[in-house]
Amino acid sequence: MARIALCQVNSGDDPEANLKLVREGVEAAVADGARIVVFPEAAMARFGRPLEPVAEPLDGPWASAVAAVAAEHDVVVVAGMFTPADDGRVRNTLLITGGGHHRGYDKIHLYDAFGFAESDTVAPGTAPMTFELDGVVFGVATCYDVRFPELFRALADDGADVVLLPASWGAGEGKREQWEVLVRARALDSGCWVLACGQADPAATGVTVNPNAPTGIGYSLVADGFGRVVAAAGAGTETLLVDVDPAVSAKARAATGALANRRL
C-alpha cells in the first residue's frame, strides 16, 4: 500500500513563491503519512508568462531546493518545472526527487490543440519514464499525454502499477468532462491506478491569470484500474490523500484483458 498526496494548488509567476507552496504542501502531506507528494504541471511557474527566463536544469537552484525538501522529509516529490532545451525553447519537465531519485520526465505530447500551441515554446520529450519506491513501480505522464493511451500501456508494459499525472488543464466548454473521462479511460486501458493532480481553477481562488493560457480547472482525480473514481477534488485549492494498493492493478488487468488481449 502506498499513501500518496495530490496537492492541487494555484502556482504563480514567481518560482521562489511557488517553492514555498511546495514546502508547505510536503510538510502537511508528510504529517498525514504520505510517501509521495505530487504537485501539478507548471508548479515551478504557471503558464501564461515567458518560460525561458525561469527554466533551470535539474541541478539548478529550484530543483535542488525541492530535492532538499524531499530529503528532509524522506518522501518523493513530483512537481512540474521547466528545463532549458537546446533550440531556444524549454522542456516541460516533471521533477521526480527523493527516495534515491533525482530525475526529469520531459512531456512527450505537447498541447497543440484548442487554439494553443505549446510547441512554439516547448520542445517535446521522447521517452517514457518509470521509477520505483517501496517495491512499487510508478509511471509518470503530463497533462495532454492523457489523450494518448499508448503511453499508458507502455508504462504498464514497463512494470508500472500506478501512473502519476500532473496537469494544468485548459478551461473551456466540455473540458472538465473530457478530463474526467480521459483519466478513467487511461486507467482502464492500462490497468494502472491513475492519480491526476491538476492546477486549481484560478477563478475559484480569486487569482487573475492570462485568460488564453491553460492555467487549470481543478478537479484532481484518482481512478483505479477498473476505472472507478476513488477520490476527487473540487475546483479550488485542496489536497487529496489516497492509499493505493498496487494489487488492484493486477486484478483489473486479469479481469478486463485490456493488455493481454491486444492485437495491435
Instruction: Report d(CA 87, CA 134) in Å as an integer.
Output: 38
Q: At what angle do helices 149-157 and 175-190 cross, to 10 degrees?
A: 30
92 neighbors 82 (Cβ within 8 angstroms) = yes
Active site residue 56: no
Phi, psi of 113 (to 5 degrees): -160, 160
Please indicate whether residue 197 is annotated as part of the active site.
Answer: no
Query: Do 172 and 212 meet the contact criterion of CB atoms below 8 Å apart?
Result: no
Pick from 207, 218, 240: nearest CA to 13? 207
Catalytically annotated residue among 7, 41, 118, 197 = 41
**Catalytic annotation, pick one of 107, 118, 192, 197:** 107
User: Catalytic pick from 7, 56, 143, 192?
Assistant: 143
Task: For cell 484518482, name the residue.
Answer: 222
Cβ atoms within 10 Å of 27's Cβ, excluding its own: 13
For residue 1, how many other CB atoms are within 10 A of its CB? 10
With H, G, I as helix, E, B as strand and everything else as coil, classify residue 6: strand
Strands 36-38, 2-8: pairing kind: parallel
Q: What is the amino acid identity at position 95?
A: L
CA count, 13 A, side-chain hemisphere, 262? 13
Identify whether 180 is a catalytic site residue: no
> Computed from CA positions of residues 169, 247, 161, 9, in that sequence, does the dihedral angle turn out positive or negative?
positive
Which residues form the catalytic set? 41, 107, 143
